[in-house]
Amino acid sequence: MTIDIIKECEGANRIGIGGHIRPDGDCVGSTLGLWMYLKKCLPDASVCVYLEKPSAIFAKIKGFDEINSAFPEEEAFDVFFALDCGADRLGDCEKYFRAAKKTINIDHHVSNAGTGTVNWVRPEIGSCCEVLYDLMDKDKLDRDIATALYVGMIHDTGVFQYSNTTPDTMRKGGELIAYGVDFSRLILETFYQKNYVQSQIMGRALMESIRFMDNTCIVSVIEQKTMDFYGATPKDLDGIVNQLRNIKGISCAVFMYQTDVMEYKVSLRTDERVNAAEVCTYFGGGGHMRAAGCTMRGTFHDCINNLSAQIEKQMVKA
Ligand code: AMP
Ligand code: MN
Ligand code: MN
């Protein structure tokens, strides 16, 4: 069984596309990739993308400048897509989703039971972009669409490193670069490159990190006042949790940054000893087996105490 995206949009004049709050590479790649694809296949329909303002590192993806981050009041859409999340994480897009005549939810989060009138959630697939690629007519793809999908694939698989990478992922990545994707530059500029401030704040997070549970776990936190000191925003903190995870002996890396008084955004990265999605789902978040997130309230110490109790329950004996 599969879904036919174009058939599902039959007769639709107004199509909207949204993704999750704090959009990442997979979210930006999948929304813009689908936007280009729908415009190409359905030239008479109006197609718009609504997302919180993404990081400027994605500016080279075609359509980036047309992303609407103002979330104006709109007439109800005939079809509204939620990509890389369920309705609950659409943020300001949720109102479009709720009002739309038809909703299509395409995702790969194990924590998403499917929130649309049509659902295609494939937790075994590493990125929403890879899920979308499977649903697209390959004759309609071009370099711009391939570039968008490739960005999502490399971001969610850590450039084909994480365990969500399969032989199929590699094959599809190969098919995408055959459209002429400038992959070396994309990987450097969107995934690895950090500016000076981002590098400094990462250094600080590593320096102040603390190991716990017999040195199998590590946590680091960046408070609002530290972000203010460096003139940094949450987008500047991407990659810190991955760096913590790369430390030898660590089964569970926790990175937290302050989002409000007594409120933290928490990111977890784990190895096979801990199911990150299960831990984060317990705290009202979600994600995947090896990468998940949630928002927690309380002091940093409250949060890490509560988290570590759940991690400990989960931790498989070495
Ligand atoms: P992050 O740590 O924010 O990079 O997120 C890791 C993975 O978990 C990504 O696939 C996110 O989309 C997902 N995720 C993060 N926060 C949440 C949340 N509150 N609810 C559901 N999924 C989340
Ligand atoms: Mn995402
Ligand atoms: Mn994703």
Do strands 102-107 and 79-83 pair parallel, antiparallel, or not at all (unpaired)?
Answer: parallel
Q: Whole-angstrom Cα distance, residue 280 to residue 314?
A: 12
Which single residue is written with the structure tokens 């400038």? 182
Q: Is 111 in the pocket of ligand 1 (CB under 6 A)?
A: yes
Phi, psi of 75 (to 5 degrees): -65, 150
* Percent composition of the chain: helix, strand, coil (DSSP 3-state, to 5): 45, 20, 35
CA of 109 to the centre of ligand 3 (A): 7
Residues in the chain: 318
- Mean pLDDT lowest for which of 52-56, 62-66, 165-169, 313-317? 313-317
Q: Is 266 in the pocket of ligand 1 (CB under 6 A)?
A: no
CA of 305 to the centre of ligand 3 (A): 28
Q: Is 164 in the pocket of ligand 1 (CB under 6 A)?
A: no
Coil, helix or strand for 104?
A: strand
Question: Rounded to an integer, what is the distance from CA 192 to the centroid of its chain?
Answer: 16
The conformation of residue 312, written as its DSSP 8-state character, comes to H
Residues 6+ apart with CB under 8 A from 168: 130
Q: Of the candidates 107, 113, 114, which has an alpha carbon nearest to the alpha carbon of residue 85?
A: 107
pLDDT at residue number 79: 98
pLDDT at residue number 237: 97
Largest Cα–Cα separation, the chain? 61
C-alpha torsion angle, residues 242, 244, 247, 251 (rounded to 10): -90
Q: Is 287 in the pocket of ligand 1 (CB under 6 A)?
A: yes
Coil, helix or strand for 240?
A: helix
**Per residue in 118-162, pLDDT tens?**
999 999 999 999 999 999 999 999 999 999 999 999 999 999 999
Measured from the CA of 295, which atom of ligand 1 is nearest? 19
- Closest ligand to C-alpha of residue 238 is 1
The conformation of residue 117, written as its DSSP 8-state character, comes to S
Q: Is 16 in the pocket of ligand 1 (CB under 6 A)?
A: no
Task: Count how many Cα atoms sit within 13 Å of the Cα of residue 25 in the half-sphere of its side chain.
Answer: 26
CA of 106 to the centre of ligand 3 (A): 10
Q: Whole-angstrom Cα distance, residue 61 to residue 33?
A: 9
**Per residue in 169-221, pLDDT tens?**
999 999 999 999 999 999 999 999 999 999 999 999 999 999 999 999 999 99
Q: Whole-angstrom Cα distance, residue 251 to residue 316?
A: 10
Coil, helix or strand for 158?
A: coil
Measured from the CA of 255, which atom of ligand 1 is nearest? 2
Contacts 24+ apart (CB under 8 A), 262-266: 262/297, 262/298, 262/299, 263/295, 263/296, 263/297, 264/221, 264/295, 264/296, 264/297, 264/300, 264/303, 265/22, 265/234, 265/293, 265/295, 266/293, 266/294, 266/295, 266/296, 266/303, 266/307
pLDDT at residue number 316: 84
Is the full-model pTM beyond 0.75?
A: yes
- Closest ligand to C-alpha of residue 108 is 3
Q: Token pair for residue 166?
A: 């399969």
E strand map for the chain: 14-19, 46-50, 79-83, 102-107, 118-121, 210-212, 217-222, 252-260, 263-270, 286-287, 291-297
Cα separation values, 71 from 16, 75, 235, Å: 11, 12, 20
What is the pLDDT of the chain when averaged over all its residues?
97
**Per residue in 293-302, pLDDT tens?**
999 999 999 9
